[in-house]
Amino acid sequence: MKNENENIITLLDENNQEIDFEVVATLNVDDTDYAILIPLNEPGDEAFIFKMIEENGEYLLECVEDNEEFNIVAEAYEELIGEAQEEEEE
């Protein structure tokens, strides 16, 4: 479900509560697309990694629960952030 701001999406948690997330990045790792989301209404800077699965022209988000897969994507995201910061400094 999308809001007016394209970088904000609303997801349902396990208790059917709506949670707004900001999509801070999307990236492709090993031919799989991932989205990095940060909850808007929760303090802290904890990010969640979701696998983007395309079905019938729409994307579904599946939480990455495998530690090895999570770490690989987190490392790729950190590299992306590091490259963006280097470009800003130039």
Q: Structural domain boundaries of the chain?
A: 8-89
Q: Which secondary-structure segment (H or E) carries 34?
A: strand 32-39
Which whole number is the average pLDDT over 21-43?
A: 91
> Which pLDDT value is given to residue 1?
44
pTM strictly above 0.85? no
Distance between CA atoms of residues 13 and 31, nearest Å: 27
DSSP string, 44-90: S---EEEEEEEETTEEEEEE---HHHHHHHHHHHHHHHHHHHHHHH-
pLDDT above 70 coverage of the chain, percent: 91
- Asked whether the beta carbons of 24 and 46 are under 8 A apart, the reply is no
Distance between CA atoms of residues 3 and 18, nearest Å: 12
